[in-house]
Amino acid sequence: MPSYHKLVRDRIPEIIEETGKRCEITRLDQNEFEYYAKRKLKEELDELHEAGNEVHAVEELADMLELIYCLSEHYGYSTSELETIRQEKAKRRGSFQEKLFLEKVEEK
């Protein structure tokens, strides 16, 4: 049986079993979840970098967003609270809509 040792979506064991296969799962504690969720987020970011088209890229973004929502709740913030924080930060610091790339900052 191949070993994966990674965080998976809640329905993955059910989907695996529907194919006639058997899988072993463990329920993570809070600290383990945080560690593996951050690791999975990095995995999804790597997959976003490798995405060959816009559809694949948006699917990876959706995976990342799901992880971000779960981590936000793990830290005690709802998705609406996270969105409020995002909006407040965008007001204070701006967004990334202008696609600005900082080259240098010169001392006066």
3-state secondary structure 61-81: HHHHHHHHHHHHHHCCCCHHH
Decide if pLDDT at 53 tops 90.
yes
Report if residue 73 sits inside a domain.
yes
Q: Is residue 50 part of a domain?
A: yes
Domain membership of residue 91 (yes or no) is no
pLDDT of 2 strictly over 90: no
In a domain, 61, yes or no: yes
What's the pLDDT score for residue 107?
Answer: 94
- Answering whether pTM is above 0.95, one says no
Residue 84 is predicted with a pLDDT of 98
Q: Please check whether residue 22 lies inside any domain of the structure.
A: yes
Structure tokens at 61: 């973004």
Residue 64 belongs to a domain: yes
Residue 4 in any domain: the answer is no
Q: Which pLDDT score is estimated for 44?
A: 98
What is the total count of domains within the chain?
A: 1
Residue-averaged pLDDT of the chain:
97
Mean pLDDT value of segment 63-68? 98
Note down the domain range covering 69. 12-79
pLDDT band at 45 (very low <50, low <70, confident <90, very high): very high
Asked whether residue 47 is domain-assigned, the answer is yes
- The pLDDT of residue 24: 96
pLDDT at 72: 98
C-alpha Rg value of the chain to the nearest Å:
18
| End-to-end Cα, the chain, rounded Å | 63
Residue 92, SS3 per DSSP: helix
